[in-house]
Amino acid sequence: MSLHDSTTPSGAPSPVAGSDEARLGEGRLDELVDAVRRYRNAERFMRGQSRASMHLGRTDMTALRLMLHASQIGQPLTAAALARELDISTAATTVLIDRLEKSGHAERRRKGSDGRSIEIWPTATTDGEVRSTMGPMHERMLAIATELSPQERLTVRRFLAALGSAMADLDAPRPASGMSAT
């Protein structure tokens, strides 16, 4: 039996290594991975532009996104919850909130009737500013997503969820001994 006679488990002929069909399959996989990289780079650039236009750092913008989402669902964040979400210390969270408050992006509000607990809210100005900078991106994403069939959306969703899980499950690389982390 020659290599050309081999079949897949379904009984279909399998592409021979080096054949045009095999290269086409490999190329599509490479093209898929490259498309993910291009999207990631484009999104990173766009988010950087948004942060720059709002004069915010990455953590500040992430905090605003979390606060906006929490306020949209009616569950504003406390400083402790924000610290957990951002995986930063409570001291760093206090500095972050102070910075966002000073820049007019967030405000502290006393919670409930006893007023002892404090919630962190995005300001109305911030909500409008984020919508104006991020809105066009979200509209374009939705327009592209609506062009997909329900089955295609399911496939893309599973693919992206699996990619997210694969990345989240990786351990952060550790520097070689004797070298400092930068």
Q: What DSSP string describes 27-70?
A: HHHHHHHHHHHHHHHHHHHHHHHHHHHHT--HHHHHHHHHHHHH
Question: Is this model's pTM higher than 0.75 or not?
Answer: no
- CATH architecture for the domain at 28-154: Orthogonal Bundle (1.10)
**Poorest-pLDDT segment among 99-103, 123-127, 130-134, 145-149:** 130-134
The answer on pLDDT for 25 being more than 90 is no
Q: Where are the domains of the chain?
A: 28-154
| Mean local confidence (pLDDT), 125-149 | 87
